């Protein structure tokens, strides 16, 4: 079963399409990187998935059931917004008790343990937490729901390197423990490559590329050589993006041939940047 699936999903605000005919599938148990430039539709997609926004057209399914304002059981979904909204006047302990009272099945003991592991004083008020501490508290609250699907909108944004490492470690440890499906929106492609096994690339409201990370790397190559090098492989592959001069060029190519004896397997960052630089969708 797919944990999250969309079929021709569209969302329009006035005359602007934030999402347009999006088809994607996130396998259950995957850790999925949701990437794209600013304004690509990442936050809109997550907001539609949790019912904060209604789709204009199409359908979104969570564990096979329609989601949205009147759809699936959202108890199976946990969401951490980019702003990590917490009640500033609440202490951490009060927020945990509030979450326990308002979410059936909330694992209060596990949430408290995560706060203790992060060395956060439960008596501290949310308004006095650092950015990294706010993220760790929001993550503990989300994971406490024991949800099957965890949606995270830019959880590492504006964190210092040490805090990013701490948050990422806490997330992956929790995922290993619970087996939850994760969709993680971020601009940091290098960190995502170390964390995620699935990729969804949004570009101007459309799904540009999606699939298992290693399979995507297998289907692409980076070749470097004379300017005509990319032209020579057009019968075997699609040139996603090419840059350089006639004397020296670098091209990202996509092929459906297994074990194409050309170039090198690209990293996920090279693949994403290649598609974002391509003027038209493939």
Strand extents, DSSP E, 71-191: 77-80, 149-153, 181-185
Residues 161 and 52 in one domain: yes
Task: Please give the tally of structural domains in the chain.
Answer: 2
Rg value, the chain, Cα:
21
Compute the distance between CA of residue 90 and CA of residue 152 in angstroms, rounded to an integer: 22
Residues 250 and 131 in one domain: no
Domain presence at residue 98: yes
The structure tokens listed for 57 are 């057209």
210-229 confidence digits (pLDDT tens): 999 999 999 898 888 776 65
Domain end point (choices 212, 240, 265): 212
Residues 55 and 93 in one domain: yes
Residues 183 and 245 in one domain: no
Domain presence at residue 76: yes
Compute the distance between CA of residue 259 and CA of residue 6 in angstroms, rounded to an integer: 32
For the entire predicted model, the pTM comes to 0.87
Residues 144 and 266 in one domain: no
Compute the distance between CA of residue 236 and CA of residue 256 in angstroms, rounded to an integer: 8
Residues 70 and 121 in one domain: yes
Residues 161 and 259 in one domain: no
Q: With contact defined as beta carbons under 8 Å apart, do 24 and 6 qualify?
A: yes
Domain presence at residue 282: no
Task: Identify the burial level of 101 via C-beta atoms within 10 angstroms of its C-beta, where 0-12 means exposed, 13-18 middle and 19 or more buried.
Answer: exposed
Residues 136 and 18 in one domain: yes
The CATH number given to whatever domain includes residue 148 is 3.40.50.300
Residues 265 and 162 in one domain: no
Tell me the HSE value of 227 on the side-chain side, using a 13 A CA sphere: 4
Residue 256: domain span: 219-277
28-74 confidence digits (pLDDT tens): 999 999 999 988 999 999 999 988 899 999 999 999 888 755 545 67
pLDDT at 282: 44
pLDDT at 279: 65
What residues in the chain have per-residue pLDDT under 70? Answer: 68-73, 227-236, 245-246, 258-260, 279-282
Q: With contact defined as beta carbons under 8 Å apart, do 64 and 2 qualify?
A: yes
Residues 137 and 199 in one domain: yes
Compute the distance between CA of residue 94 and CA of residue 99 in angstroms, rounded to an integer: 9
Residues 198 and 223 in one domain: no
Domain presence at residue 74: yes
pLDDT at 238: 83
Which residue(s) pair with 220 in the sheet? 254
Sign of CA dihedral 65, 70, 76, 81: positive
Residues 31 and 94 in one domain: yes
Domain end point (choices 170, 192, 212): 212
Domain presence at residue 68: yes
């Amino acid at each position: 079963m797919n944990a999250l699936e969309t079929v021709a999903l569209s969302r329009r605000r006035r005359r602007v399409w934030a999402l347009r005919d999006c088809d994607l599938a996130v396998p259950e148990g995957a850790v999925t990187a949701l990437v794209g430039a600013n304004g690509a539709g990442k936050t809109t997609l997550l907001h539609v998935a949790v019912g904060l926004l209604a789709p204009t057209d199409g359908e979104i399914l969570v564990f096979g059931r329609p989601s949205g304002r009147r759809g699936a059981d959202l108890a199976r979904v946990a969401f951490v917004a980019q702003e990590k909204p917490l009640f500033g006047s609440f202490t951490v302990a009060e927020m945990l008790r509030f979450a326990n009272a308002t979410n059936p099945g909330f694992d209060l003991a596990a949430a408290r343990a995560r706060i203790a592991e992060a060395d956060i004083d439960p008596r501290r008020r949310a308004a006095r937490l650092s950015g990294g501490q706010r993220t760790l508290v929001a993550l503990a609250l989300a994971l406490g729901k024991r949800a099957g699907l965890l949606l995270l909108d830019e959880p590492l944004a504006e964190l210092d390197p040490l805090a990013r490492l701490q948050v990422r470690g806490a997330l992956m440890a929790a995922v290993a423990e619970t087996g939850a499906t994760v969709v993680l929106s971020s601009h940091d492609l290098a960190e995502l490559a170390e964390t995620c096994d699935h990729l969804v690339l949004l570009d101007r409201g459309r799904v540009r590329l999606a699939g298992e990370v290693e399979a995507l790397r297998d289907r692409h190559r980076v070749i470097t050589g004379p300017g005509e090098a990319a032209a020579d492989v057009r019968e075997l592959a699609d040139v996603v993006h090419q840059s350089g001069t006639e004397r020296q060029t670098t091209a990202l190519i996509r092929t459906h041939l297994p074990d194409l004896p050309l170039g090198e397997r690209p990293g996920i960052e090279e693949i994403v940047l290649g598609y974002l630089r391509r003027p038209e969708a493939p």
